[in-house]
Structure 1
Amino acid sequence: MIMRLMLLGFLVFSLAFQGAVAATSECEECKTIVDLLQFEWGEKKTEECVMEIAVFICETFHIEDNDVCNFIISDFSDEFMYVISKILVTPHQLCGLLMKNNCGDFVDPLATIWNMTIPGNQPAYVPKQIVPAGNPTLRALHLTDLHVDMFYTPGMEAQCDTPQCCRPQDMNVEIVENYQSAVKEPAGPWGNVGSCDTPYWLLTNMLQHIANTAGQLDYVMVSGDLVSHTVWAYTPETHSFMVRNLSDTIRSYFPNTPVYFAVGNHEGVPVDNIAPHFTPKKYHMDWLYKTMSDSWKGWIPEDQEKTLEYNGCYMKKIYDGLRMISLNNVYGDRINFWLYINQTDPDGTLQWLINQLQDAENAGDKVHIVAHIPGSDSEALEGYALNYYKIINRFTNTVVGQFFGHTHSEQFYMMYSNPDDYKSTPNNVVYSAPSVTPYSDFFPAYRIYTIDGVHSGSTYQVIDYEEWYFNLTSNNANPTNVKWEQLYKSANAEYGLKGQTPDEYNQMIERMKTNDDLFNRYYENRYRRTIYDGRAPCSDQQCRNGYLCDARQFHQTNQLCTDLEGGMIKPKDSKKKYSARFVTSQEKRRGKEECKI
């Protein structure tokens, strides 16, 4: 049993990070190593060694970087051991899972495809039209991925060897032991592009700037990820503090403006992990949801507090004819390892979404959805993403706005009547706003939408949006006179759109195939015009096709990109997502000696 647990420990992380290899020789090597380890260690190893052995295999196979491998023996081993004890596979099934291509007996504990029952009686599709001018409008601020680091320290090393820099490293004995007094790149006074998160004073400066310059804001959306990337330090206490602190901070700058939050993957403890209620009670996230419920009082209806405190979702009728739904889609996160036990609609969030959309359709209301992880992201589970896609397609006349985050870059995603056919009808656009954090390649930014307002027959569709960014290079050079700059005043004008409709965005993708100026503009805006990390221009067709394919995908399929000639190279996500707790040299030596590795 212990050997099985050890192998499963390796299985869970290799699955999550997709570090699989497929060569026949490596398949045989995997089987041989599994057999040798089973012979050498037998079934007598204590549970304390299971995690050490899993790390050993992870590092030996170079499945992931050593920091990710060492995450296995972090403070979260209790939760991890519970999950892997529930997944029953044989050692050779492990190789079948990792190598995929006819290596051993294939097994898929994630049960990747599962189906929700979608309601029938779908009304005839009504194409979204360009909103005519002259009617009242709403203005909505969209913030995402704040990732505030309360320990950001100007002058600290910005180019450190850990996944989180610009802060004291004294929690890491190994780094301190080898620390060089000469700082290669001092952290800037207002933040740093790279492996650094948002200083608290940068957040408050942004909020003050918005309060002073934006004019009337009718509501604010925050698409999740409030805390920093220092996942080794995640605890319920620190997360509760950050939820309360940042909610109060935003409220202090917008005391009369409602704010609608969504749960992000970094709200999980451990990171990415939101335990559904089929797990033992000690793992439940009720403490997080209760903190959110208490911190967001006045912004969400009292009759929604019970739902929020159960699964992190809620709905509010924000105007006559318009509802806001906050969907906790961390239940569709590939690295939420609780889902390896059972990923089928955890805590009923998608069934709850169906019920909410059916109620809205019956009432003739429109719906905006705020959530965190886009369905095509590498961290998204395809089963959850595809079911969400089908739900939105069923209620495509009702859902008129979707507001996501997570990627840190400015993006949009198309949705089509056939999820696997780009030639089918484009029926929805998903907005993914730029992050406040500069981690890893971005200047901080925010977005403000202009939306069809409250009037008879309102569509409540997005009409246009503007973006503002904070140039860390120039502002760090002149830290006493910082300024926020407008990236562009109008997305419609920036990209030559007649309006914010699915047809217009679909045609924009077509135009970007050959229009260099348009594509380069989109490419530069995606990164808020940063020039960090030696990023080369996206000048060849394969690179361009990768970005165009991204825009078509809101679930994980390349069927939407078959017309992109010349092949494609998908944009490389340099955002370091997993800031593992670095174990010390002493801990490594002790673990290997005790387990005879």
Structure 2
Amino acid sequence: MQPAGRAFPMVQESQGIYTITAEDISSSSSESKETFTDDWNYKLEHSKVPILANIVRNHTLPPPGNGSARLLWEYDQEKSSHLPQFFDKALKLLNLKQVAFEIENSVMSKVSCTACKAGAGLLQHYTRIGKSEKEIKKTIYQFCVNLKLQSPRVCEGITELFAGEVIYVLSKVKIGPDEICSFVIGDACGDIYNPYHEWEVMFPPVPKPTVIEQNVPETFWFYIQKTWLPNLAKWGDYRKCDTPKITVDHMLQHIQETHPDIDYILWTGDLPPHDIWNQTREENLKILKDTVKQMSTMFPGAPIFPALGNHESAPVNRWLLLNSTDPATELQWFIYELQSAEFNGEKVHVIGHIPPGHSDCLKVWSRNYYAIINRYESTIVAQFFGHTHYDEFEVFYDKKDLSRAINIAYIGPSVTPYYDLNPSYRLYYVDGDHDKSTRAVVDHESWTMNLREANLYGYPIWFKLYSARQAFGLEALRPKDWDELVTKMTNDPKLFELFYKYYYKASPVRPSCDTACRKKILCDLHSGRSHDRKKSV
């Protein structure tokens, strides 16, 4: 046994691994791209100066306009209180409740595709006939309220935060609703070829090293804890509610006392709550700063390695219809860093937010990321993501031999119970500091508490839910071990039920899982590439 001197926690929960947002969309290139100058050189030598040291800035939001979409609409009610007649009839053909459910659960069908095309087509029509942003915002708010998609307050917040950006993008792109919705929704809208959103990263002319079969590591010791931070009642709620701060405080206190030898913290994003209609830049920054202060105080000296989630930005979830070719040259930078690590004989852990195989990750981005994992499988020994809130994983395979598993992405459970979940965190044990260390994950534990009992008795009791090696009888946590587990679960309903219990973190209100549910989960475990279900198990 050779312990790794110290241990490490992790905080949970971006569009395509590290969050990718549509920044700098204010200027024009050819067709659907905007021209902007990016002076960043990813090949520069690494700075030795701490990035966040002694940086304090005040940010002031501009005052609200003279009239919000809600006020404009209410002012205009005497003239017309109905949707345009032709569109009102069209919308009645759509199952909008189904659309809302699919968007929330990231499971798209033809219903969402039809709604997307109708919305994108109408907005593009409005911009082309010269309607002002104010007029379009008023119409969007009118649709939202009259169709009872949300309450007037939520409709107003969503309209004010998102409409301006969506209108701008749709007025600039040279593609229509079919291409837009295929890009945003995915395969449910058909695999429509769009040359502006097809690109490939470039690899250096260095041959891939011979892959060495990974042996079972000798030891462990490495802790990672995932957390999440928003608002609610006493200890939380199984319905669509975020975690109250008292629960986060209680969990961190438990971790501090139960796992005193934590080495570092992996923080995979999404600290702000889900009230996306009510977010501001200042509030999101405050949540981030308060969390950093709390974690630094409770775990002094432990490094924190953060990734941004899709909820950190204000507004959230920007789609890259403009400037979408390797945004900010992120993946090219990633290749450069991995090649440097390969030359130096280093091992790499990847930290991100949205799992690359999740449908929320853009298809072209995920495909390129998958190619990078294939090329650098000997260097990347583990990947860590959040976003889904579930306790799960994704297996990556050799593109030339789909029977050979080459890498694994761990998707840690969230502290948020949103929704039907128990709050949880995870500890990872990693091969430690010795001459032949693989830096591979050799086991992980998921810890949880029963939210129903916590609210009933007045306090949470945190406990170890399971160890991956013990629960599933794994020899090790190599990619091939996880691949074999998925194959076993495909043929063993009892083993799948055990996994499903842990997937929902032993929640007493977890839904039943029928054949379609089981097939979907197993298929997702089998692929680290998004929109890949047709090719999976």
Q: Deviations over 1:238-266 (max 9, x none)?
A: 11111110011111110121111111000
What's the counterpart of residue 473 of structure 1?
A: 452
Distance 1:47 1:221 in 2: 41
Q: Does the aligned pair in 1 maintain the 2:390–2:414 contact within 8 Å?
A: yes
Q: 1:545: Cα distance to partner? A: 1.8
| Corresponding residue for residue 457 of structure 1 | 436
2:134 to 36, 48, 51: 48
The answer as to 2:96 corresponding to 1:119 is no
Provide the secondary structure at the position in 2 that maps to 1:140: coil
Letter in structure 2 aligned against 1:270: P
Change (3 A) 1:207 1:48: same
**Compared CA separation, residues 108 and 236, structure 1 to 2 (3 A):** farther
Task: Find the counterpart in structure 1 of residue 33 from structure 2.
Answer: none
CA separation in 2, counterparts of 1:138 and 1:99? 41
Query: Does residue 511 of the first structure (1) align with residue 488 of the second (2)?
Result: yes
Residue pairs, 1:301-320, within 5 angstroms = none
1:179-578 residue pairs with structure 2 within 5 A? Answer: 189-272=234-317, 336-337=318-319, 339-418=320-399, 423-479=402-458, 481-488=459-466, 490-532=467-509, 535-536=511-512, 538-540=513-515, 542-555=516-529, 556-561=531-536, 564=537
CA-based RMSD of the aligned residues comes to 3.8
Query: Does structure 2 conserve the Cα–Cα contact (< 8 Å) formed by 1:345 and 1:351?
Result: yes
Task: Please state how far the C-alpha of 1:473 moved relative to its aligned partner.
Answer: 0.9
Deviation, 1:486, is 1.1
Q: Which runs of 5+ in 2 are unaligned?
A: 1-83, 92-98
- In structure 2, how many angstroms separate the alpha carbons of the residues matched to 1:217 and 1:484? 17
Matched residue SS, 2:223: strand
The question of 1:148 aligning with 2:193 is answered no
Distance in 1 separating the partners of 2:524 and 2:293 = 36
Q: Which amino acid aligns with 2:206?
A: N
Q: Which whole-Å CA distance do the structure 2 matches of 1:96 and 1:437 have between them?
A: 31
Report the AA paired with residue 224 of structure 2: L
Deviation, structure 1 residue 112: 3.9
Query: Equivalents in 1 of 2:411, 2:473: separation in Å?
Result: 19
| 1:485 to 1:363, Cα distance in 2 relative to 1, 3 A | same
Amino acid corresponding to residue 465 of structure 1 in structure 2 = H
Contact 1:413 1:431 in 2 (8 A): yes
Deviation string, structure 1 residues 477-535 (Cα, Å, up to 9, x no partner): 111x43101101x21010110000011111111111122221111000000111326x1
**Change in 2 beyond 3 A, CA 1:128/1:235:** farther
Q: Is the Cα–Cα contact under 8 Å of residues 147 and 229 in structure 1 kept in the other structure?
A: no
Give the aligned residue type for 2:461: K
For the structure 1 residues 110 and 194, does the alpha-carbon distance in structure 2 shift closer, same or farther, using more than 3 Å as the test?
farther
Q: How has the CA–CA distance of structure 1 residues 553 and 559 changed in structure 2, closer, same or farther, with 3 Å as cutoff?
A: same
Q: Within 1, Cα distance between the matches of 2:290 and 2:274?
A: 17
Aligned length: 432
The CA deviation at 1:126 is 2.1
Residue 222 of structure 2 corresponds to which residue in structure 1?
Answer: 139
Q: Secondary structure at the match of 1:510?
A: helix
Contact 1:467–1:486, Cα closer than 8 Å, also in 2: yes
Classify 1:95/1:442 alpha carbon distance in 2 versus 1 (closer, same or farther; 3 Å): closer
Give the match's secondary structure for 1:51.
helix
Structure 1: distance between partners of 2:210 and 2:526: 20
Q: Who is 2:168 aligned against? A: 82
User: 1:91 Cα deviation (Å)?
Assistant: 8.0
- Aligned-residue offset at 1:192: 1.0
Shift of 1:351: 1.0
Say which is worse superposed, 115-124 or 227-236, in terms of deviation. 115-124
The separation in 2 between residues aligned to 1:96 and 1:358, in whole angstroms, is 33
Residue by residue over 1:328-375, the C-alpha shift from the partner in whole angstroms, topping out at 9 and shown as x without a partner, is xxxxxxxx23x1112111111111111110110000000001100012
Quote how far apart the aligned CAs of 1:82 are. Answer: 2.6
Q: 2: CA distance between counterparts of 1:470 and 1:97?
A: 39
CA contact (8 A) 1:131 1:461 kept: no
CA distance in structure 2 between the aligned counterparts of 1:521 and 1:229, rounded to whole angstroms: 30
Match of 2:12 in 1: none
**Residues 239 and 267 in structure 1, CA contact (< 8 A), matched pair in contact too:** yes
Identity among equivalent pairs (%):
32
1:127–1:411 distance in 2 versus 1, CA, 3 Å: farther
Any idea what the Cα deviations from partners look like across 1:410-464, whole Å, max 9, x if unmatched? 0110000118x7x331100110000011111210101111100011021000010
Counterparts in 2 of 1:143 and 1:20: CA distance versus 1, 3 Å: closer
In the superposition, the TM-score normalised over structure 1's length comes to: 0.65
